[in-house]
Amino acid sequence: MSEERRRFFRIDDEVALSFHLIDDEYGGEDSDDLHTMQDMQQEFHVSLEVQIRQAMVDVRSQYPKLAPLLDLMNQKINLLHANEALVEEAPVLKKANLSACGIAFTWGDKLPINQTLMVNIYLQPNHELVRAEAHVAAVDNNPDHPTQSEEAYIVRLDFNEMHQAFQEVLIQHVVQRQGHQLRKKFDSNN
């Protein structure tokens, strides 16, 4: 396991996920103006999301009764934005093992090792989009198939390229979810 992988927490979570295969001719740059414009809009959206998260820390401490309403409004806006961004396949809600460097989830089809993908991950419950280029690092047989899961494989993706703003949103999400899961575990033990 590389040193970079050890820096990031891994959590079990539920995400909405979609991806599409990138063919062998993909060279890392997309020259299509439409995609470039969409990427710039998405980058701006993610930048705003990071700023909103930072501002909400102050709002929660100064106006605790107002914070839940603002969170709900932000979730609604994110959901509307996510619906507009559905150009590819509709995302599928999946249980996943997630970190800032990769994701693992069950899947019905065996994907080729090293296949490059463009992955859209909608973090729950706020529907925040994280987009990354990834490759299939491993595909294992699902030990829960067929008794507990209809999907025969566990697909493990490593993120190759991710914009820093997306990575920041993902890291914040993982840390917050891990804190929530630890509090929940502590409360159930007491």
Give which of 116, 59, 118 is closest to 89, Cα–Cα: 118
Q: Are 129 and 82 in contact (CB under 8 A)?
A: yes
H-run or E-run covering 44? helix 33-62
Amino acid 26 reads: Y
Selection from 12, 176, 171, 39 nearest residue 101 by Cα: 171
pLDDT of residue 83: 58
Which domains are delineated in the chain? 10-189 (2.40.10.220)
pLDDT reading at 26 higher than 50: no
Least confident of 11-15, 30-34, 91-95, 106-110: 30-34
- Please report which confidence band the pLDDT of residue 121 belongs to, taking 50, 70 and 90 as the band edges: very high
Q: How far apart are CA 79 and CA 86, in angstroms?
A: 11
pLDDT in tens, 81-96: 665 554 456 788 999 9
Lookup: tokens for 163: 């914009």
Question: Which pLDDT value is given to residue 30?
Answer: 43
Q: 27 or 76: whose pLDDT is higher?
A: 76
Quick check: pTM over 0.75?
A: no
Average pLDDT, integer, range 62-69: 88
Output the pLDDT for position 96: 96
The label of the residue with tokens 């970190």 reads: 99
40 touches 83 (CB < 8 A): no
